[in-house]
Amino acid sequence: MSASAIALFSSGRRHGNTGRLIDTIAAEADVEVVDLAPLAIAPYDYEHSNRDDDFEPLMRRVLDHQSIVFATPVYWYGPNGPMKIFLDRVCDLLDLPALKPEGRRLREKTAYVVSTSIYPDAPAPFVEMFRDTFDYLGMRYGGIAHLDCRDGYDADAAAPVAAEMVARLAAGSADSS
């Protein structure tokens, strides 16, 4: 049986600040972590000539889960590049008649954000980009876990941030059962 949550993780390094935070969450919650880095996901293409890449198989995996976690560092007030490309490709589910039923399934899902940066809070444009995108897609927003990594990754500081997200995920899966 699949985990109740899937985390799409993207960073310039697998075991950096964001990777450690999502792994801490996944150690306590029923979360399948998928690293976007090794996947071949081409940028959005109006001609959809990229349909044979890894996006659609990944999306089918994502739609098997009730809760979807987007885990990314803040890079210039936004997500990192591959995460943005993934989000752009979600437009395929709105554009292509064959994929529209899958796109509508996003409306059943709850989306969460896990992030790190060098400030105590994620910047407003970063949070708004995710929230507005989830809203547009009809997804429920389940909240954000953000860790200040100005002085590097501090496991003691990460523990309560991770615990709060674990509790949110547990509450989200209880709501949907």
Ligand X SMILES: Cc1cc2nc3c(=O)[nH]c(=O)nc-3n(C[C@H](O)[C@H](O)[C@H](O)COP(=O)(O)O)c2cc1C
Residue of 23, 41, 55, 73 that binds ligand X (CB under 6 A): 73
Beta carbons within 8 Å of 150's beta carbon, 6+ residues apart: 118, 119
Q: Give the residue at shortest CB distance from ligand X.
A: 16
- Answer positive or negative: Cα dihedral of 169, 172, 174, 177: negative
Question: Shortest Cβ distance from residue 140 to ligand X (Å)?
Answer: 26
Question: Shortest Cβ distance from residue 92 to ligand X (Å)?
Answer: 27
Q: Tell me how far the alpha carbon of residue 85 is from its chain's centroid.
A: 12
| 18 forms part of the interface with ligand X (CB under 6 A) | yes
Beta carbons within 8 Å of 75's beta carbon, 6+ residues apart: 12, 81
Output the CA torsion 82→22→147→90 (10° steps): 30
Judged by CB under 6 A, the stretch of 23-31, 38-46, 67-75, 166-174 that binds ligand X is: 67-75
Nearer to ligand X, 13 or 107 (CB): 13
Which residues here bind ligand X, judged by CB under 6 A?
11-13, 16-19, 73-77, 116-119, 149
